[in-house]
Amino acid sequence: MKHNSNIKSMKLYNHVDRIYNELKELGKINSEFLFVEELTNFDQLHYCGTKAVDFSINKIGIDSSMCILEIGSGIGGPARYIANKTGATVIALELQSDQNNIALDLTERCGLSKKVKHVCGDFLTYDWEGKKFDAIVSWLALYHIFEHKILLQKCFDLAKPGGFFYAEDLFSRKPFSKKELSKLLKEIYANYLPDVQTYKSEIEKIGFNLLFCQDMSFEWTKFTRNRYLSYNKQKDRHLRVHGRDIYNSINSFYT
């Protein structure tokens, strides 16, 4: 059953322009040039920041000859980081237009518009007009998409022969009750949470050769706990920089 809900119920996706408060804090109040490194503390909307992106760069062997598709690119953090570090071309697809507009602005200010192309659209319906990619990558976006088999088939069809599919995603470690699922839907817009065996077998059934799979539960639990503690420790600073609405919203999301 497809759930009738709204992605904006996930508090991370409210006040997405809060990154400009951080830039103001850095003294960047106009449209001046930005370095990718100045943004990475704020533009990586997944676990473990650029360390996670570096892992994928090394695992896939991304280099300047490659064209990479990122599904669910948010405000463009991973896409800019990959392009800046490797010289690869990155097509960054994002569903939400407010995030995509911010991504466009930040990428332009980093001087990366030739290497990172931001596209606003739904991966399930977007028409790539026959284009193929060396790698399709994604951080914490795929569990939002209920139609997982269609998603995997599209990924398979969009990969060049010998191309890669790399996803950091969520799975269920135990069956959830209806009440828990409804809370997960509201808080993190979780539409697809199979167990890990199902997740792996679906990838293989589509035709991918599964090269690597790692359970990140321990690291991600540690990361999210520290993120919450650190955000709380800096409550006064965040209230000053962002105001009460944003503080309450992000604090509640991190909880």
Ligand X SMILES: C[S@@+](CC[C@H](N)C(=O)[O-])C[C@H]1O[C@@H](n2cnc3c(N)ncnc32)[C@H](O)[C@@H]1O
Residues at the site binding ligand X, with contacts judged by CB under 6 A: 7, 44-46, 71-74, 77-78, 93-96, 99, 122-124, 139-141, 144-145
Among 34, 130, 132, 27, residue whose Cα is nearest residue 75: 34
Rounded least distance, CB 95 to ligand X, Å: 4
Measured CA to CA, the distance from residue 253 to residue 247 in angstroms comes to: 10
Q: For residues 207-235, b (16+ Cβ closer than 10 Å) or e, as one string? A: ebeeeeeeeeeeebeebeeebeeebeeee
- Residue 111 structure tokens: 């001087």
Residue 184's contacts (CB-CB under 8 Å, 6 or more residues apart) are 176, 190, 193
Query: In this complex, which beta carbon is closest to ligand X, that of residue 118 or of residue 242?
Result: 118
Query: In this complex, which beta carbon is closest to ligand X, that of residue 110 or of residue 244?
Result: 110
Query: In this complex, which beta carbon is closest to ligand X, that of residue 78 or of residue 163?
Result: 78
Q: Which amino acid is it at 146?
A: F
Rounded least distance, CB 191 to ligand X, Å: 9
Among 113, 112, 117, residue whose Cα is nearest residue 73: 117
Query: In this complex, which beta carbon is closest to ligand X, that of residue 42 or of residue 199?
Result: 42
- Residue 15 structure tokens: 């006040």
Please give the residue whose beta carbon sits closest to ligand X in the complex. 72
DSSP state of 134: E
Written as one string, the DSSP assignment of 39-83 is HTTTS--STTHHHHHHHHHHHHT--TT-EEEEES-TTSHHHHHHH
Rounded least distance, CB 151 to ligand X, Å: 8
Query: In this complex, which beta carbon is closest to ligand X, that of residue 58 or of residue 209?
Result: 58
Phi, psi of 31 (to 5 degrees): -110, 35
Query: In this complex, which beta carbon is closest to ligand X, that of residue 141 or of residue 155?
Result: 141
Rounded least distance, CB 45 to ligand X, Å: 3
